[in-house]
Every structure is written in structure tokens, then in C-alpha cells.
A and B are shown apart, each in its own frame.
Chain A
Amino acid sequence: MADRLHLANADQPLLVAENLSKNYGALVACRDISFTLYPGEVLAIVGESGSGKTTLLQMLSAQLAPKSGRVFYRMRDGVLRDLNALGEAERRFLFRTDWGYVHQDPAQGLRMAVSAGANVGERLMAVGWNHYGRIRGTASSWLERVEIDTARIDDTPRTYSGGMRQRLQIARNLVTEPRLVFMDEPTGGLDVSVQARLLDLMRNLVSELGLAAIVVTHDLAVARLLSHRVMVMKGGQVIETGLTDQVLDDPHEPYTQLLVSSILPP
């Protein structure tokens, strides 16, 4: 259902970035970045530490003001709006409902002192749900969806393993059925075995829900598994972009060739 809804609007961009730039003093973090993201599309931003990936993600998600350039987002009414010009209520709607933001460190995206159920339910309450039974039921079904034993619903994430925390963070983000999810190194701090499980889970959720996502990662395997398109960043600039398998199998730029050829075979 959700998928069909998204496909119907699939020819209109969901997010448009226009000439985004940002510097910290003399240091250029991002320079002149433009791209268009469509509904249901997963875009990976790859590059090494310090290449400007996270700064870009923060500008795209309205957490950091660009020095120049603009970000447009298509609100649910179908109108493409400049993020900078949004009122407080619209901005809050985006953060609470229409967007998700998955941090590398789940402790940043979760409230560690409250129960798992409350972590998921909180987002629902923020959008006006007030029936305790329904909130708990929905939270519980989301825990199941991210493969967390529902017997652990009343435990705090402090008692969870790293992989469980990350899955809980994903449930908390997706419970409001956002249309766009930002992810910053979502598998970054996890063991390899836990990573594979999380990646598979994210891949399925993204395709079932028809989500658009922007995923920052330095791991090309994550980009290959999750994304349709990839942007390679170096020194604050996008140096190569295209279909993910094209860029990874037939890289054109010297730096992309270096990245691709630097992967150690298992």
C-alpha cells in the first residue's frame, strides 16, 4: 500500500539540494553540492573521514544552516518548500513524523533511561496518539519487526546489546511512517555479524515501506547493499556520482578507483 502511494508520486522529487556550501573558518566542509532525491530512492554518501559527509547530512536534515545554497523538501501537501523558510510547526512536523534520523551511536537517538516501549511510543504520542493500549500494541509490533523479543519491551536500552539498541533506534524512527530517513554510519559501531543482520533488516524495511533514505557511510559494502545511487565525496566536494553498482564496478575518478581497490577481500 505504502509502496503504491510512493510510486504514484515517484516522478516528483522529494528533496532537492541546490549549491550547498559550508565552511568552518578557512576549512571547506562542503562545496557547491547539488542533487535531487526521489521518493523511494536510497542515496549513499561515501568518502573517508573528514570528506564532509556528516556536515552535508546535517545541512540536508535542517540541523545545520548552509553558508550558501538551499534545500527544498516536498511536504505531504505536494508543495516543494525551502527548508529555511519553514515555520516552527512545519519543522517540528518534519522532525517528529515525516523524517527519521538514525545516529551512528544509538545513545544519541534513544532515551537511554526509559523503556524500549516508551522509546518507540514517544514518537507516536508526539503526533497526537493518546490511547495507551494502542501505543503499546504498535510499539510491540515494531519491536517484533526489528527482531527484538517483545518480552524486553519494559527494559531500558541500557540493558540492550549494541545491535539491539541500533534496531530499537530504527523502530523508534520508523513508527511514524516517515517518507525520508537520514542515516549516519548506521552500522558503524557494530560487530560484523551484527552488521549483516541489521543491513538485511534495513534493506527489507526500506523496500517494504517505500522509504527514501540518505545514508552516510565509509563502508562501500553498506552502500552496495542498501543504496540505488551513490555520491563519492572528497575534500568537501562530490567527485563522482551515479548508479551504485556502476560507480563501484566501473569507477572513473582516481579517488573512487583508490577507494574501490582498497577494499580487502574477506
Chain B
Amino acid sequence: MSAMIDILEAEKTFTMHLQGGVRLAVVRGVTFEVKAGECVVLSGPSGAGKSSILKMIFGNYRCDGGRISIRHRGNLIDLAKAEPREVLRVRRETIGYVSQFLRAVPRVATIDVVAEPLIVTGTSRAEARGQAGDLLGFLNIPERLWTLPPATFSGGEQQRVNIASGFISDHPILLLDEPTASLDAANREVVVRLIDKKKRAGVAIVAIVHDDEIRRRIADRVVDVTTFAAAA
């Protein structure tokens, strides 16, 4: 099976102009691929560049070199060089991203936050809300909270809302940045089951997880990010 994500020699350096132009090399020579139905877990200590790599795959951080090929509608698109419009299209249909923190529009109800990714790709509001409700229920978010904006929720609840909005679409690629970090054991179990289901549906997953047990259960392969250390 062909790769869904194919990264070759990607690198990232931050230049901090406000700190006298200090150059902070994050990663260099990032090279790995992820096939459909496979879950690759990035490992390494904090600051090794795991989140930066996920953000580069999502097109959120720009690459300073190398290639990040994403299979989108059967064609390979290099996100390191793609136009903003292409990146947005790839995100709408192909790549889902569950960040560590929920960033939601103020005033928008939880159920609409979760339903939105379906609505923008053409699902009717009623159908999208139905699916959003199913997923929120599965993630143990009580129904009385669905009409409230998630801003006042606990950390674990916000994270589950974030997971719901990332998992609701049928994106063939999913990027997960510590999806279980602030969850209790029961909810971690729910997330593991959701990840399993995605893998069986052929979704290519790149994840960052610190919990050894979760990693053992979801990872098909571990990529050690310290091998991409850019510091000379």
C-alpha cells in the first residue's frame, strides 16, 4: 500500500528576531512515512520537536527545507511548497488534527463546535449535529453541556470536545498531539477504541503520547525524534 504521508529531509529552524536574531534549530533530516491504517507514534523528550513535526505535517509551521508529501484525493501534494488554498483544501478533506488545547470561537455551542468540520464539507446541519451528539455521548460529555460553549469546561472535558471535533470527519490522515494527556482511565480507554476504529477504517495516524501503556496499544511503529536533533 502506498504511503499517505511521505516526509523527506524536512527541517525547521526558528529565527527569533526579538531576541537578537537567535536561531533555534528544532529538527533536521526528518524522514519517515506513514501508510494507510498505520499508527506511527513520535517519541522523545519534551523539546525534541515532536509537536513541531506534527505542525509541519498540518502546514501550520512552515518548513525550511525538505518535502512533506500528503496523499490528497489520490495525488501527492508537497505541503512544504503548497499554496495557502491548497493547504486549506487538504485540511478540509484529508488531514484532521487534534491539538493539545481546544481553540474554539467564543459563544459557539459545544455541539456546533464538533459538528462544524462536517458542515463545511457539505453535511446538513441536522445530520452533522446528530453525529456530533453521538460522538460526544461516546466520549462521556453529558448532554446538558452540549448547548454550552466549551470555554468554561474542565481541561479533560475540553480535550474530549477537541477529540470529538477531530474524529468526526472521515479524514484519511489524523494527527494527534497528546490526545489522552488530561483524561481519566475510562476516557483514555474510549480514545484508544476510537483510534482503533480509525485504524481499521484505513486512516493513517501520527500521534504523540507520553503514556507508555497507551503507546504500546496504539503504535504500529515508533519514530524516535531525537534522531532528527538539529543541534550541531
Contact B17 A196 (CB under 8 A): no
Residues of A within 8 A of B17 (CB): 253-254, 257-258
Contact B105 A242 (CB under 8 A): no
Per-position 1/0 for B116-130, Cβ under 8 A of A: 000010000000000
Q: Which of A81-89, A165-173, A199-207 lies at the interface with chain B?
A: A199-207
Contact A246 B107 (CB under 8 A): no
Contacts of A1-52 to chain B: CB distance below 8 A: 38, 41
| Shortest distance from the beta carbon of A145 to any chain B beta carbon, whole Å | 15
A249: Cβ under 8 A from any B Cβ:
yes
Given the contacts A252-B15, A257-B18, A258-B18, A246 and B106 also touching, CB distance less than 8 Å? no
Contact B62 A246 (CB under 8 A): yes
B175: Cβ under 8 A from any A Cβ:
no
Question: Interface size (A, Cβ < 8 Å)?
Answer: 23
Contact B106 A196 (CB under 8 A): yes
A243 CB contact (under 8 Å) in B14, B59, B107, B108: B59
- Which of B17, B18, B60 has the most chain A CB atoms closer than 10 A to its own CB? B17
Closest to A11 in B: B85
- Which of A199, A203, A257 has the most chain B CB atoms closer than 10 A to its own CB? A257
Contact B84 A249 (CB under 8 A): no
Contacts of B71-125 to chain A: CB distance below 8 A: 84-85, 87-88, 105-108, 120
CA distance A38 to B85 in the complex (A): 9
Contact A250 B61 (CB under 8 A): yes
CA distance A246 to B56 in the complex (A): 10
Is chain B's interface secondary structure helix, strand, loop, or mixed overall? mixed
A196 CB contact (under 8 Å) in B60, B84, B107: B107
B55: Cβ under 8 A from any A Cβ:
yes
Per-position 1/0 for B1-44, Cβ under 8 A of A: 00000000000001111100000000000000000000000000
B62 CB contact (under 8 Å) in A199, A225, A242: A242
Contact A229 B84 (CB under 8 A): yes
Residues of B within 8 A of A229 (CB): 84
Residues of B within 8 A of A207 (CB): 120
CA distance A242 to B59 in the complex (A): 11
Contact A254 B84 (CB under 8 A): no
Contact B106 A249 (CB under 8 A): no
Closest to A224 in B: B103
Contact A200 B108 (CB under 8 A): yes
Contact B106 A200 (CB under 8 A): yes
A92: Cβ under 8 A from any B Cβ:
no
Enumerate the 7 nearest inter-chain pairs by beta-carbon distance, A residue then B residue, closest first. A254-B17, A196-B106, A243-B84, A250-B61, A200-B107, A229-B84, A257-B17
Which B positions have Cβ atoms within 8 angstroms of A? 14-18, 55, 59-62, 84-85, 87-88, 105-108, 120
For this complex, 7 residue pairs linking A to B, each with C-beta atoms less than 8 Å apart, are: A38-B85, A196-B105, A196-B106, A243-B59, A243-B88, A250-B61, A250-B62
